[in-house]
Amino acid sequence: MTVDLNINPLTNWLTDKKIPLVIAGPCSAESEEQMLATARELVKNQKISYFRAGIWKPRTRPGSFEGMGVEALRWMQAVKEETGLKVATEVANTDHVEVCLEHGVDLLWIGARTSVNPFSVQEIANALKGVDIPVAVKNPINPDLQLWVGALERINKAGIDHLIAIHRGFSSFEKSPFRNQPLWEFPIELKSICPDVPILCDPSHIAGTRDLIPFISQKALDMDMDGFMIESHINPMAALSDADQQLTPNALDDLLNDLIVRLATTRNEEFKTQLDDLRRLIDDLDEEITQKLSARMDVAEKIGEYKKENNVTILQVKRWEELISDRLSTATAMGLSEDFMRGVLKLVHKESIRRQTEVMNNQKV
């Protein structure tokens, strides 16, 4: 499925064609001094196109720093006047949009706690009718691709054609080294649904800690993303919000210089032929895997019939445990990771149980 959006491609609206596009600045606007001191350093970096700062901060619990509000918009203006950087901030309702437009904010973004709510997104879209401004939509905090696509559609239908998606990871119960799980399949799928919408990665909110930011950033470029929104603060340790995931402007410069920008394609003919050969090999192997899976499911159904005739339960815990340990030891001996193989086996087992349940009950499940 693709969604028909009216999009102005990134390269057309960045006159200086800075690709990857970089939006950088503090998590929150804290004071005029902090904003200007950060911006004065960031503007030295040619790779940065927009200065960001949160003015209204959506906080999980009340009592934490909730942003400086409208007053901070004057500091934004000061940054813009002094450094010439374009400025960006987060909006969550009509009032935010209106006051940002009055203060000459150049780019608006919709945060992860707002893009999750179609009522709020529609309210923002209505406030944007007839306005020509780039709008970025962060993925919703929960992994729901349709909500993300829906939010982009609502903003696009309001007439915004300078649209950006921002991948900032997803909340999860699962233990993970990241603050928000990257779940790369979501931005990849978004690219295939909305091929014209540029996607930026927000490695700060995915990583949650400075040391994981380079890894996430390189991975984003390897996934062909179009740039970054990164948090940068003149004195990250003293930041009033998200202190652990902000880089100094110097550290950000190092990061951007160290990243390897790969090309989506190349003119090198030998490379292309070799790549084609390898891709054909992958196609053949995928077909083999599909055939084997199909054959395996047919056998599972036969076992289901047999169990039914003999009145035996579908789930045989002991057999399943033995099978897992046997398959895992073979897989790891063959160089596959235990986590990966466990995931594959879980899926295969789930499908076998579903097929056997159909046989047992004589109806589709």
The smaller minimum CB distance to ligand PEP, of residues 116 and 341, is found at 116
* Residue 51: C-alpha distances to residues 68, 170, 171, 219, 249 (Å): 17, 24, 26, 23, 12
Number of helices and strands in the chain (H, E): 13, 8
Supply the minimum distance, in Å, between the C-beta of residue 180 and ligand PEP.
8
Among Mn ion, ligand PEP, none, what binds residue 30 when CB lies within 5 to 8 Å by partner kind? none
The smaller minimum CB distance to ligand PEP, of residues 245 and 352, is found at 245
Kindly state whether residue 202 participates in binding Mn ion, applying the rule CB under 5 A. Answer: no
Supply the minimum distance, in Å, between the C-beta of residue 66 and ligand PEP.
11
According to CB under 6 A, which residues from 6 to 35 bind ligand PEP? 27
Question: How far apart are alpha carbons 110 and 97 in whole angstroms?
Answer: 10
According to CB under 6 A, which residues from 38 to 77 bind ligand PEP? 54, 58
Place of tokens 């813009």: 80
Q: Of the listed pieces 85-93, 137-145, 235-243, 345-353, which binds Mn ion according to CB under 5 A?
A: 235-243
The smaller minimum CB distance to ligand PEP, of residues 47 and 138, is found at 138
Supply the minimum distance, in Å, between the C-beta of residue 64 and Mn ion.
12
The smaller minimum CB distance to Mn ion, of residues 27 and 213, is found at 27
The smaller minimum CB distance to Mn ion, of residues 242 and 253, is found at 242
Supply the minimum distance, in Å, between the C-beta of residue 163 and ligand PEP.
17
Q: What is the DSSP letter of 140?
A: P
Kindly state whether residue 149 participates in binding ligand PEP, applying the rule CB under 6 A. Answer: no
Q: Which parts of 266-316 fold into alpha helices (H)?
A: 269-310
Ramachandran quadrant class, 76 (left: phi over 0; alpha: psi -120 to 50; beta: rest): alpha
Pick from 39, 112, 234, 255: which binds ligand PEP (CB under 6 A)? 112
Helix (H) or strand (E) holding 256: helix 249-258
According to CB under 6 A, which residues from 205 to 234 bind ligand PEP? 205
Number of other residues whose CB lies within 10 A of the CB of residue 261 = 10
Helix (H) or strand (E) holding 135: strand 135-138
Among ligand PEP, Mn ion, none, what binds residue 112 when CB lies within 5 to 8 Å by partner kind? ligand PEP
Pick from 242, 249, 253, 356: which binds Mn ion (CB under 5 A)? 242
* Residue 131: C-alpha distances to residues 15, 51, 319 (Å): 20, 21, 63
- In sequence order, the β-bridge partners of residue 107 are 88
Supply the minimum distance, in Å, between the C-beta of residue 55 and ligand PEP.
10
The smaller minimum CB distance to ligand PEP, of residues 66 and 351, is found at 66
* CB-side neighbour CA atoms (13 Å) of 281: 6
The smaller minimum CB distance to ligand PEP, of residues 35 and 300, is found at 35
Q: Of the listed pieces 76-84, 108-116, 150-158, 207-215, which binds ligand PEP according to CB under 6 A?
A: 108-116
Kindly state whether residue 27 participates in binding Mn ion, applying the rule CB under 5 A. Answer: yes
Question: How far apart are alpha carbons 185 and 114 in whole angstroms?
Answer: 22
Among ligand PEP, Mn ion, none, what binds residue 198 when CB lies within 5 to 8 Å by partner kind? none
* Residue 72: C-alpha distances to residues 54, 77, 114, 155 (Å): 9, 9, 21, 25
Kindly state whether residue 138 participates in binding ligand PEP, applying the rule CB under 6 A. Answer: yes
Question: How far apart are alpha carbons 332 and 319 in whole angstroms?
Answer: 20
* Cβ contacts of 304 within 8 Å, gap of 6 or more: 314, 355, 356, 357, 358, 359, 360
According to CB under 6 A, which residues from 161 to 190 bind ligand PEP? 168
Q: Using CB under 5 A, list all residues that contact Mn ion.
A: 27, 242
The binding site for ligand PEP (CB under 6 A) comprises: 27, 54, 58, 111-113, 138, 168, 205
